[in-house]
Structure 1
Amino acid sequence: MNNLVQLSYALDTFYFLMCGALVMWMAAGFAMLEAGLVRSKNTVEILTKNVVLFAIACTLYLLCGYQIMYPGTNSGGVIPVLGTLLGAEHSVEAVLAGGDDAPYYSQRSDFFFQVVFVATAMSIVSGAVAERMKLWSFLLFAVFMTGFIYPVQGFWKWGGGFLDNHGFLDFAGSGVVHLAGASAALAGVLLLGPRKGKYGAKGTVNAIPGSNLPLATLGTFILWLGWFGFNGGSQLKLTGVENANAVAQIFVNTNAGAAGGVIAALIISRLLFGKADLTMVLNGALAGLVAITAEPSTPTALNATLIGALGGLLVVVSILALDKWRIDDPVGAISVHGVGGIWGLLAVPLTNAEATLSAQLLGIGTIFFWVFLTSVLVWGAIKITVGIRISEEEEYVGADVTECGVEAYPEFTEGVK
């Protein structure tokens, strides 16, 4: 029996770690997607942001974020117990004790899986504020977002706080990760303002094409792949027939949600624009993935496809609406992760009998207002002290030269601005 327990512990720990590695690979997906959707003169800067934000997220979550999010006390509470650093690893005796309270995977594997989630939330912010934000101001915000803002609302659901106590369901993070990231992004975008030349007089919207759509497409496929770890790892266990079947269903539904989002975005873009808009198709895939993330285990594969499809439709409508409201989001991150996340959370009661609409609305409202308001305060403080926006001249030249001192494609941009 002891050998079986140890084998189960080892397999579940390994599965957790490999799923975390897949989610870490999503950092490459965000970097490629964003680099492809911004202009070439801002490519190096956005790549720098994606690398450094990941390092900041890992460090701040290690120093304080993980213990804020998972204090192990104050069940059903609002204010988490503030802790620092990781606790002791599980002992062999605790694992072999058996029973429902015995640990079934390494605590370090849990930390690794959770830390790549917080990095994902911060990556969402990166694309939305692209092409006009100061690099160091963005990185300063990342410290507060990953070390405090994200962990507090994460505690309210996944750490056993009051949202969990009220029945709010969010299996893999449509709200805790994606809506949180989009809310922080929206706060930053509103204080930052649109890119120069994006909006003209009388409500005109000027398209600013990205520099490398093959790169953006590659980024989308990387994210699609990483999402199997994102949702599949959230089952927490693999061993046992029930868990293995659940993981398989989650993988199938995750893929189906993305496919549904692609098809819906393609159709609606064809109807609206008369053309197949690749950027809308890419965002449709991501919106479908975000939508199914709230509950990827209970829908049938067909239902998952429909949930993803509505996510793909909504993201196109949302991107167009934000432009009408002069909210400039170069990569569509607010629409993909915010609108897609809200829809995914609202869809949970459609397939999970334990979910209630009131609890889902409570979770949506709480996450949005907490992250948005605290982000406004942090962004505002940074704006007043060191500023958040590069100058008009620096924006014209490009953040690569002014913020990083190097160009991504020097052989193509020499003498051209």
Structure 2
Amino acid sequence: MNACMVLFMQSGFALIEAGAVRAKNVTNILIKNLLDACEYSSYSYANRFIGHKHFFLSYPDYKSPSLDNYPVRVFHGGSFYGEFFFNFVFAATATTIISGALAERVEFGAYLVYGIIASGFIQPVTVHWAWSNGWLVYPPESLKLPPAVWYRDYAGGGNVHAVGGIAALVSCIFIGPRLGRFSAKTGEKVHIPGHSTPLTCLGAFILFIGFLSMVLGHGQSVALGVTNLTLGGAASGLTSMVIVNLEPKVVDWWKYTIMKTNRSRVIKPKTFWSFLVLVDATLAGMVSMCAGCDVLEPWGAVIIGIIVGFAFYYVEHFLIHMKVDDPVGSVAVHLVGGVIGVLLAPVFAKKEHEYSWIHWKGCDYDCVSDSVNSTCLYSTSFAGDASEGKRALHPNWQNGDCLYTPFHQFAWQLVGILAILSWTIVCCIPLFFLLWKLRVLRVDADTEVRGIDIAYHGEPAYPIAAQGHGWDNEGEFSVSNLTDGKTGGGRRDVKALINPHEAESWEGMNPEAGLVALAIAYREKYYKNPYANGICNGMEATIVPTLVLSTEF
């Protein structure tokens, strides 16, 4: 059930992206989001990339005697069908992140190629490393890491969101910005508004529900997880909203007050409470909670959310400065949120977790491994009175060495996220370079200007013929006289809207008769014979044409 809710996130991504792009490219966005799911279903798990024995830096199968002494650290061994479906929805989520980053300019075939490779190979490998029996979950013994140290990523902050975010960054660099996104003369950003803020709002709320479902799908720490997700998202969203409004004022104060500039000639920029910034920053905060929401202190979740709010805002501005066009903020939301969440999860973990950085009190004695003595091996704080000689071996010490510190866990988290990012980059750069070199990565300029929906899909999201109505403001039929579209009124000839391919049927009709009268005359003449055009075979038929009686421009 929770996997179904996570799958529902696909509609959230689709609606957010659809609202953020122009109306001429909405169908293209929708079909790409659906295909992301279909590609995994038909390809990835069929090849058994997840859980495959000895696959890509993995330990042997769990039934192997060599793993008898290894603890069970991640979910495995459940229903094959349940495992397939849960991994399917996460792979679809990781793959669809790039859809918004390449919106309005990517060649449809190129996106299909990326989707197949990403959902079938790139993302499943990282899942195997982090959620199966891979080397991140069971570090190689040669590293001699403490047994308590292994890569922790509860809900895919690294192998889902960071993978999608870094792939989005690489693809944006290769494909370039949309036409008109940056001024050809000054290089300044040119605002390209999306066509529907309400669609973006609906998609955002669907994603909020989907993020909570990611946590509810795990058996441990459900209440703590949803609490931290909510707090982290809220803190990040509010932080970015404050920055958006305060930063221009602070910059102005520094420039025009401290530096004694003539303020009478200064036109200070107007600040706005941006809904789109709030949505993206809140999503970034929730992404940052995915890695450690089951172990974080609630106040730690707030701190991480604030950090992510700052990082999101300034990464967005840095990308614009570098002329990287990301229409929906995929890089700042998923890459920044995912990386920060993975790294800070052990820092703000609750006290009962031994790898918690903020609660670690250190070893009882300040010993170094080259000067071991019996005092270093024991702690009087664990077993009775030292005067009676009742001393117990301190769990953080073994053979004179401090066996475990939170720094080990943080270092392994860093190794894990760098490995995941490196793997994705190594796979994506050759892929997008090849597509770019073959000139199949981006649509031609004419299609980009006119819109992808009609050119590639033949299905505009908002057909012109479906717009308008036949009523005036008082609820009566509109009987305005026709014009030729050139003499004023802004009305097109109804012939252009009703069966334009049968021009001969209009012969002899009076174009000044009014819209309704002309439409009725057209119907009586053209459909008088039910067998006209061979549309009937011995059966009576009544055909009423679709009318668009008034089209204003």
Q: Does structure 1 retain, via aligned residues, the 8 Å contact 2:180–2:190?
A: yes
Match of 1:337 among 329, 334, 337: 334
Alignment of 1:368 with 2:418, yes or no, is no
Distance in 2 (CA, whole Å) between partners of 1:110 and 1:284 is: 31
- The amino acid of 2:135's aligned partner reads F
Match of 2:96 in 1: 123
- The amino acid of 2:50's aligned partner reads M
Alignment of 1:190 with 2:173, yes or no, is yes
Match of 1:174 in 2: 157
Match of 2:20 among 27, 31, 37: 37
Distance in 2 (CA, whole Å) between partners of 1:313 and 1:320 is: 11
Match of 2:458 among 405, 412, 415: 405
Distance in 1 (CA, whole Å) between partners of 2:182 and 2:439 is: 26
Distance in 1 (CA, whole Å) between partners of 2:77 and 2:421 is: 33
Structure with more helix by fraction: 1
Range 124-133 or range 152-161, more displaced:
152-161
Match of 1:382 in 2: 435
User: What do residues 101-136 of structure 1 show as CA deviations (whole Å, max 9, x unaligned)?
Assistant: 998742211211111000000110100011100112
Cα RMSD (Å) of the superposition? 2.6
Q: Does structure 2 retain, via aligned residues, the 8 Å contact 1:37–1:330?
A: yes
Distance in 2 (CA, whole Å) between partners of 1:45 and 1:104 is: 39
- After TM superposition, give the deviation of residue 223 of structure 1 in Å: 0.3
User: What do residues 330-382 of structure 1 show as CA deviations (whole Å, max 9, x unaligned)?
Assistant: 00001100011111111112123436221122112111111012111122223
Distance in 2 (CA, whole Å) between partners of 1:266 and 1:320 is: 14
Counterpart secondary structure, 2:345: helix
User: Once the two structures are aligned, what percentage of the paired residues are identical?
Assistant: 31
- After TM superposition, give the deviation of residue 100 of structure 1 in Å: 7.7
Match of 1:163 among 128, 136, 141: 136
Matched ranges for 1:265-414 at <5 A: 265-272=240-247, 274-352=271-349, 353-354=354-355, 356-385=409-438, 387-411=440-464
Distance in 1 (CA, whole Å) between partners of 2:77 and 2:44 is: 23
- The amino acid of 2:49's aligned partner reads I
Match of 1:63 in 2: 46
Count matched residues.
Answer: 371
- After TM superposition, give the deviation of residue 321 of structure 1 in Å: 0.9
Distance 1:386 1:194, change over 3 A: closer
- The amino acid of 1:319's aligned partner reads E
Match of 1:214 among 171, 193, 198: 198
User: What do residues 254-301 of structure 1 show as CA deviations (whole Å, max 9, x unaligned)?
Assistant: 122221222112111222362111111000111011001010011232
Matched ranges for 1:64-79 at <5 A: 64=47, 67-73=48-54, 78=57
- After TM superposition, give the deviation of residue 38 of structure 1 in Å: 0.8
User: What do residues 156-201 of structure 1 show as CA deviations (whole Å, max 9, x unaligned)?
Assistant: 2112212223422211111100010111111211111110111123
Q: Does structure 2 retain, via aligned residues, the 8 Å contact 1:128–1:332?
A: yes
Q: Does structure 1 retain, via aligned residues, the 8 Å contact 2:76–2:132?
A: no
Distance in 2 (CA, whole Å) between partners of 1:100 and 1:268 is: 44
Match of 2:360 in 1: none
Q: Does structure 1 retain, via aligned residues, the 8 Å contact 2:304–2:344?
A: yes
Highest Rg: 1 or 2?
A: 2
Q: Does structure 2 retain, via aligned residues, the 8 Å contact 1:22–1:228?
A: no
- After TM superposition, give the deviation of residue 59 of structure 1 in Å: 1.8
- The amino acid of 1:37's aligned partner reads A
Distance in 1 (CA, whole Å) between partners of 2:101 and 2:109 is: 16
Distance in 1 (CA, whole Å) between partners of 2:59 and 2:230 is: 35
Q: Does structure 1 retain, via aligned residues, the 8 Å contact 2:58–2:133?
A: no
Match of 2:33 in 1: 50
Distance 1:40 1:295, change over 3 A: same
Range 144-153 or range 157-166, more displaced:
157-166
- After TM superposition, give the deviation of residue 79 of structure 1 in Å: 6.2
Distance 1:184 1:104, change over 3 A: closer
- The amino acid of 1:78's aligned partner reads L
Q: Does structure 1 retain, via aligned residues, the 8 Å contact 2:23–2:461?
A: yes
Distance in 2 (CA, whole Å) between partners of 1:299 and 1:266 is: 24
Runs of 4+ in 1 over 4 A off after TM superposition: 99-105, 412-417
Distance 1:80 1:119, change over 3 A: farther
Distance 1:205 1:103, change over 3 A: closer
- The amino acid of 2:445's aligned partner reads E
Q: Which runs of 5+ in 2 are unaligned?
A: 62-70, 140-149, 249-270, 356-405, 469-491, 493-550
- The amino acid of 2:172's aligned partner reads V
Q: Does structure 1 retain, via aligned residues, the 8 Å contact 2:59–2:133?
A: no
- After TM superposition, give the deviation of residue 148 of structure 1 in Å: 0.7
- The amino acid of 1:133's aligned partner reads V
Match of 2:534 in 1: none
- The amino acid of 1:170's aligned partner reads D
Q: Does structure 2 retain, via aligned residues, the 8 Å contact 1:258–1:285?
A: yes
User: What do residues 69-106 of structure 1 show as CA deviations (whole Å, max 9, x unaligned)?
Assistant: 212546xx62689x9xxxxxxxxxxxxxxx98998742
> TM-score, normalization: structure 2?
0.63
Counterpart secondary structure, 1:164: coil
Distance in 1 (CA, whole Å) between partners of 2:416 and 2:552 is: 49
Q: Which runs of 5+ in 1 are unaligned?
A: 1-17, 84-98, 238-242
Q: Does structure 2 retain, via aligned residues, the 8 Å contact 1:37–1:331?
A: yes
